[in-house]
Amino acid sequence: MALVNTKKMFEMAAKNGYAIGAFNVNNMEIVQGITEACQEVNAPVILQVSKGARAYANHTYLVKLVEAAVQECPNIPIALHLDHGPDFETCKACIDGGFTSVMIDGSHLPFEENIALTKKVVEYAHAHGVTVEGELGTLAGIEDEVVVEAGHESYTRPEEVIEFVQRTGVDSLAIAIGTSHGAYKFTPEQCTVNEDGILVPPPLRFDILEAVAEKLGDFPIVLHGSSSVPQDYVKMINENGGKMPNAIGVPESQLRKAAELSVCKINIDSDLRLAMTGTIRKFYNDNPSKFDPREYLKPARANIKELVKHKLINVLGCAGKADECM
Ligand code: G3H
Ligand code: 13P
Ligand code: ZN
């Protein structure tokens, strides 16, 4: 089937208590690893492209790679989404250039300005059959060039969500409930130590998620910054010349719970980067004389595929759901 927008996926995810995985793509191996996993377990998927990805790989290359995946995986619905669209012009370029969904990220703007910008994007997008994600509240971490220091993030205010959704006409809403971007989501000081000596991050603010859901009913909610930072890959990186002390993510059990509630889209990028980097670092160390990129990109792609399969089955709950989302 052709690329789809996110309407049907979100409708089914909200109705049946699962979330769609939204994975960032920057090159062919990442696109292949993700979509081969989705095809194998029959899962719908959102492939998302950031401003940084467009700058790195070029808009046309990314669209063509995703179109190739659509052709190779004819039995699953695939949406192509702009992640953290910074302005109207970027959203318009993506809508005109083959994307089926865009995010306009006005979360750093005052409320009225966020509404005005988001509404402008929605009007253009909807006229072209493209769905739109807006955001209220700010996450800590780095999104493209926007750096929000820990402690300067702000949770979404449930009392604002109805007005935002109604006045903008968005199709989904990203909220801030304690997730953050990147591989360093929590400091060790913010964590508690469990009986096995493992650092346990503070729980997400499910009270805010529930308050938002009470206001919006089945309306699709999005979680950014939802990598769990698998410690096996952090260890692999650190044992093979890397230096990533105290990389800590959101526990998968928390994400599973969010997916069963009103969260319909969960964004995962850093975990795939860790899998790729760890695999390649280990390959270099184990095989110092090899220099053919295919030899290290092949296991990196395979590990991305395995990780995505795990997320689809055990975290998002969307394995086997492709047919109902068509
Ligand atoms: O939230 C941002 C995504 O992880 C994309 O990251 O801006 O480095 O492409 P990027
Ligand atoms: P992570 O950095 O937790 O993977 O979040 C990715 C994201 O939110 C992309 O928009
Ligand atoms: Zn994000």
d(CA 147, CA 181): 10
Nearest Cα to Cα of residue 91 among 119, 56, 61, 57: 119
pLDDT of residue 47: 99
Tell me the sheet residues that pair with 136.
175
Distance 67 CA to ligand 1 centre (A): 21
Query: What are the extents of the domains in the chain?
Result: 7-325
What is the model's pLDDT at position 148?
64
CA–CA distance, 221 with 169 (Å, rounded to integer)? 14
| pLDDT for position 151 | 62
Q: Given CATH 3.40.190.290, say whether it is the number of domain 7-325.
A: no
For a mutational test of ligand 2's pocket, the pick from 20, 101, 226, i.e. the residue with the most ligand atoms closer than 8 A to its C-beta, is 226
- Ramachandran quadrant class, 23 (left: phi over 0; alpha: psi -120 to 50; beta: rest): beta
CA-based nearest residue to 79, from 91, 63, 96, 90? 63
pLDDT at 80: 98
Question: What's the CA gap between 119 and 220, in Å, rounded?
Answer: 17
29 lines ligand 1 (CB under 6 A): no
- SS3 percent helix, strand, coil of the chain, rounded to 5, is 50, 20, 35
Per-residue pLDDT of the chain (326 residues; tens, 9 = 90+): 789 999 999 999 999 999 999 999 999 999 999 999 999 999 999 999 999 999 999 999 999 999 999 999 999 999 999 999 999 999 999 999 999 999 999 999 999 999 999 999 999 999 999 999 999 999 876 555 556 666 667 999 999 999 999 999 999 999 999 999 999 999 999 999 999 888 899 999 999 999 999 999 999 999 999 999 999 999 999 999 999 999 999 999 999 999 999 999 999 999 999 999 999 999 999 999 999 999 999 999 999 999 999 999 999 999 999 999 99
Q: Which amino acid is at 194?
A: N
The total number of residues written for the chain in this structure:
326
Please tell me the distance between residue 273's alpha carbon and the centre of ligand 1 in angstroms.
10
113 CB burial (10 A radius; 0-12, 13-18, 19+)? exposed
196 carries an active-site annotation = no
Question: From the CB of 105, is ligand 1 less than 6 Å away?
Answer: no
Nearest residue (CA) to ligand 2, atom 5: 225
Say what the pLDDT of residue 198 is: 86
Helix H segments across the chain?
A: 7-16, 28-41, 51-57, 59-72, 88-96, 111-126, 158-168, 206-216, 231-239, 252-260, 270-286, 293-310
Q: Which two tokens stand for residue 112?
A: 């009225």
What is the pLDDT, as a whole number, of residue 150? 61
CB neighbours of 157 closer than 8 A, spacing ≥ 6? 136, 137
